[in-house]
């Protein structure tokens, strides 16, 4: 398996672990913070924190993976996704990320119109972000293997 194929799989694992950990912590502090902040500020702050947490975890855990992989295989990681092919893969994966998020966002807003609670709406938004990251990683893996 090439580095180009390993990368989206590693990011998929990293994103899943990060999201599930963040969501578990969020549910644990929900009751205590809700009385302090109120419902809308709590959920707004939670979503605003999710994106930097996901980005930082990707950076830190991928560095950890790269170092561990270099020690185990005794090979330096090659440059990946830097040619035109790689840029095209990244562009299409990002497009799929954006499309997935927009469909999920509009679906969530539709449910809000139908009368779901604010808490449920924000939980759906959380899972929309997570689903979008998954689609991006799977798209990158698919396009790399398929060869566009």
Q: Could you give the C-alpha distances from 107 to 10, 28, 116, 126, 128, in angstroms and in order?
A: 29, 27, 12, 13, 10
Q: What is the pLDDT of residues 22-58, one digit of tens each?
A: 999 998 888 787 777 788 888 888 989 988 998 899 8
CA distance 121 to 124: 5
Mean pLDDT check: name the lowest of 33-37, 62-66, 103-107, 108-112.
33-37
pLDDT of the residue at 81: 46
């Amino acid at each position: 398996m090439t580095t180009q194929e390993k990368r989206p799989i590693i990011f998929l694992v990293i994103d899943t672990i990060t999201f599930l950990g963040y969501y578990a912590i969020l549910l644990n502090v929900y009751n205590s913070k809700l009385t302090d902040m109120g419902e809308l500020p709590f959920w707004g702050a939670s979503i605003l924190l999710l994106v930097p947490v996901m980005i930082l975890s990707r950076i830190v855990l991928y560095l950890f993976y790269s170092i561990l992989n270099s020690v185990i295989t005794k090979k330096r990681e090659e440059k990946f996704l830097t040619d035109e092919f790689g840029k095209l893969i990244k562009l299409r994966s990002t497009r799929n990320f954006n499309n997935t998020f927009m469909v999920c966002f509009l679906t969530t807003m539709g449910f809000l119109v139908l009368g779901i609670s604010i808490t449920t709406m924000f939980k759906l938004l959380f899972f929309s972000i997570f689903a979008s990251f998954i689609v991006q990683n799977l798209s990158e893996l698919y396009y790399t293997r398929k060869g566009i």
